[in-house]
């Protein structure tokens, strides 16, 4: 069947049911396309604030314990490969789940496997805003200092999750409490 004026007129002269089905399908496809195109994912880079507190161990315990160290800042590597398992992230992903203003200072803490990278994601509807992934310190932790206005978090309830990644392995933990922005 060729598409021309006569065929288009004939199509729309059919019972209203066929035209209605066509319009409904068109609206559904358009809505799906709109949602896919307008989904936003934004990564926000903030200055890192990592702790570098070292844990000392007795020399006899250090020689028998398995070693799991991160690459040193000077470029040398203390471990031969990334860990095979990634510990599910834990910590205070958001320091205050109900800030009074969007200018309130927040802090996010992610604790996981040493040498893993951790990121924090905020999701509301189709919008996803992420704190840039940061390498964990020698204790397996990293922190971010931020405000909701810095990240561009709009009013409403945001789901918060942390993802830790080491090599091809990753683990995600979702905060049981949402971040409620006024």
Mean pLDDT by 10 residues, the chain (182 residues): 74 67 78 65 56 38 35 39 73 91 89 92 92 92 92 93 92 94 91
Residue 56 is predicted with a pLDDT of: 36
pLDDT at site 59 = 38
pLDDT for res 51: 42
Q: Are 122 and 152 in contact (CB under 8 A)?
A: no
In contact, 113 and 70? CB cutoff 8 Å? no
Q: Where are the extended beta strands (E) located within 15-155?
A: 40-44, 48-49, 106-111, 117-124, 127-135, 141-146
- Sequence-distant (6+) residues with CB within 8 A of 109 are 91, 92, 93, 95, 141, 142, 143
pLDDT value of residue 14? 63
How distant, in Å, are the alpha carbons of 20, 22, 29, 57, 159 from that of 16?
A: 6, 10, 20, 80, 44
The reported pLDDT for the residue numbered 158 is: 95
């Amino acid at each position: 069947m060729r598409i021309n004026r006569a065929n288009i007129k004939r199509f729309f002269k059919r019972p209203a049911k066929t035209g209605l089905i066509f319009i409904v399908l068109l609206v559904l496809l358009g809505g799906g396309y709109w949602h896919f195109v307008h989904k936003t994912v934004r990564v926000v880079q903030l200055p890192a604030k990592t702790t570098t507190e070292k844990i000392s161990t007795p020399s006899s315990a250090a020689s028998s314990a398995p070693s799991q160290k991160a690459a040193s800042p000077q470029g040398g590597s203390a471990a031969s490969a990334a860990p095979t398992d990634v510990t599910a992230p834990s910590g205070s992903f958001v320091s205050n789940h109900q800030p009074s203003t969007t200018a309130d200072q927040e802090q996010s803490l992610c604790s996981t496997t040493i040498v893993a990278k951790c990121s924090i994601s905020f999701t509301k509807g189709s919008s996803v805003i992420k704190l840039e992934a940061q390498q964990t310190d020698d204790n397996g932790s990293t922190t971010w200092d931020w405000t909701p206005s810095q990240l561009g978090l709009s009013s409403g309830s945001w789901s918060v999750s942390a993802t830790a990644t080491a090599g091809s392995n990753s683990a995600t933990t979702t905060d049981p409490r949402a971040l409620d922005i006024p």
